[in-house]
Structure 1
Amino acid sequence: MSPTKQEAFVYATYPDLKGKRVVITGGGSGIGSELTTAFAAQGARVWFLDIAEEASRALEQSLAGSAAAPKFVRCDLTDIEALKSTFAAIEAEAGGVDILLNNAANDDRHEIEAVTPEYWESRMNVNLRHQFFCSQAVIPGMKQRGHGVLLNFGSISWHLPHTQLDLYMTAKAAIEGMTRGMARELGKFGIRANTIVPGAVRTPRQEKLWHNPEEEARILAGQCVPARVEMQDVAALALFLASNNARACSGREYFVDAGWYGA
């Protein structure tokens, strides 16, 4: 089936996001760069964390003329002490964080037999652990102010049959459980927590490494809507869930996958 024709993308505007203090992890490239772009265009005050310094500096420069110019902060999220220091500095500068998007991840492939305990730890640190500790860093301030939004990023991968992604799928499955626990515990303080589950999103990394014509055909055949999911589709969902329009949305998984059931 051939892809459906997609019109030029235009984001909805959420006036309540203007001036909100937003932190985006992995915000310098891929989906993260589109999140940074979209929230900055809403007038939010954005700090984006990444280790990809060249790409992040270029993004920061390109968005200098946005409604609110985002700030790049280099941070290795697998270093917990550096993570804590980074968030403490942002809290001190901004006076608090209203919205946290835990987007950073890495979907490197591997064989089950090749996994060592050290590699296991490194994959959990890259894909799971930092989401908890970044959340932990901003929750006290959110509790004090009586509001906040945590958006944790999962993946369609473990909902479908995939190979060579066992550790990535393990981490992404855990994120959904972690989010539900956070939502239940923090709701009474006015804090909402949700998981965004992207499907086969067209990103530069995926296009370079995995999404050849055969794989794209397989993806489209498995989706209800035979059109590629773009980074803007993910950012649009994030904007909604971060806004007051989603005030009754918490503790759930929200898929943006064109109805991908596998093929």
Structure 2
Amino acid sequence: MSIPRGPSTPIIPSSKGVPQIPRTPSSTLPHPTAAQSPASASSSTFPSALNPNAQLTNSAPDYPPQMTAPTTSSSSIRKPGSIYERNINRRTPEVSLNAFAFLFSELVQYLLRQRKEAGANAGSLPDLETRLNTLGYHVGQRALELVTIREATAGASAKGAAGGRRENKILGILEFVHTHVWKMVFGRAADGLEKSRDEENEYMIIDNEPVVSKYVSVPRENSQLSVAAYAAGIIEAVLNGAKFPAKVSAHTVEDEDHPLRTVFLIKFDQAVIERDQKIAA
């Protein structure tokens, strides 16, 4: 910031000689014990430039004005609000794919390292997949709760009544997982939904490029490990929470165009099949 310059009186003269300060006889100075008002304490014998009671002129000041930092009141500081005060129907926040891939890769390496350090007591690869499935199960429980509340709130605001409907058929809940849950968790819908021709209680959700498998590489000795068991746990939690008890497993079925193609095999309990048949009758 430039300071405007105008007519001024220099405090330090530019001459080389040291200026002589005029001395005032001590008899003319006021006695320290004399009771004087602040106005009378300043004597006219002092130069006007040093007199604090001298009249101000329109000329620029002899020195730059002192700059003071603005004081900020505590009320103007924005404090983070409670998570319960946020709009539950706001746009779904997105997580960086790089951050998720790094975190999930470290999780898989941590499980493999634990297995290696255990030595003879190490669990088998199915045990590692079970641990990944359990971790994904916790995510699926929270995902189902959140997406259900959002669907119900959006339906209530659109219909003016208690919105949202509960799926009571197998096909309806599978389409719900295939589209809504998959899009909320992984950013897009799954690539396929099929029914087994051999077993009436088996269905399959297909993902050609699972996010959990895209940036993870396992050692050659553990090449049979399917890290997509994490996503299988998410599906299993959603189905169990929706009263469609089932077991979900992940299987890599690669093809020429999709080397990471994964099939999530869903096996419903027999009670679910019987209930679905009664509803359809």
TM-score with structure 2 setting the length:
0.23
Q: TM-score, normalised by structure 1?
A: 0.25
Point out which structure has higher relative CO (alpha carbons under 8 A, 6+ apart): 1
Higher strand share: 1
Q: Report the structure, 1 or 2, having the larger helix content.
A: 1
